[in-house]
Amino acid sequence: MIWSRRRLLVALGALMLVPAPAVSRGRDDATSHRRFDDPAEWAKVFDDPARDAWQRPERVVAALGLRPGQAVADLGAGTGYFSRHLSRAVGPAGAVLAVDPEPNLVAWLRDRAEREGTPNVVPVLASRDTPRLPHGSVDVVLVVDTYHHLDARVAYFEALRAALRPGGRVAVIDWQKRPLPVGPEMDHKLAREQVVEEMGRAGYALVEEPDVLPYQYFLIFRPR
């Protein structure tokens, strides 16, 4: 059947009025999906010198108690804000696996490691549903302002346990769910209690909660 232009436009108009099917989102799915394919633009945010005053990277890394020769994964490494601090903590015999699912950021992380002279920083291109870490490869996984970007978090962190060495830990730093002078919109934030509950379902116990950050909770977990 050949449709006239007028009938085709009427049909398309009617189609546009049909509501799109609702997307089912689990309670442990991401509250925010953003594009991170422009590292130069995100570097203005992530590496803003003013961030040091409230992110306190040296105090965060000190609280992790990393030792020379250990391996730490910076999950959702972004532009590498924590890379040089972690690199210094684990030393030349250690490794920093800078993990991100955005290819442009991974290339940026490689260039930054070369520029900063940190050969123990190894960029890793992750998948959206797995960090692509080898089995039994890391002593600590650091997750800064990334937890709320992950979908199916309980399954994600349940699977992540396989990447931990004996005694391994997962540290989650994310935004307190209250009005803050920095950080994302309120509806993108997750309450501390929800993170603890989800990590519990993923098979972890909260073992430490360093009180070093003004705007974020800092939760350290071990597999049960």
- The number of distinct structural domains making up the chain is 1
pTM of the shown model: 0.86
- Whether residue 25 lies inside any domain: the answer is no
- Whether residue 4 lies inside any domain: the answer is no
- Whether residue 12 lies inside any domain: the answer is no
At 25 the pLDDT is 60
CB 77 within 8 A of CB 98: yes
CATH number of the domain to which 190 belongs: 3.40.50.150
- Whether residue 186 lies inside any domain: the answer is yes
Query: Could you tell me the two tokens for 108?
Result: 């940026």
- Whether residue 24 lies inside any domain: the answer is no
- Whether residue 6 lies inside any domain: the answer is no
- Whether residue 22 lies inside any domain: the answer is no
Q: What is the pLDDT of residues 108-132, one digit of tens each?
A: 999 999 999 999 999 999 999 999 9
* DSSP single-letter state for residue 80: T
- Residue span of the structural domain in which 135 resides: 31-223
Residue 64 neighbours by CB under 8 Å, 6+ apart: 72, 89, 140, 142, 169, 171, 220
- Whether residue 5 lies inside any domain: the answer is no
Q: What is the pLDDT of residues 68-100, one digit of tens each?
A: 999 999 999 999 999 999 999 999 999 999 999
**Nearest residue to 144 (alpha-carbon basis) of 203, 210, 57:** 57
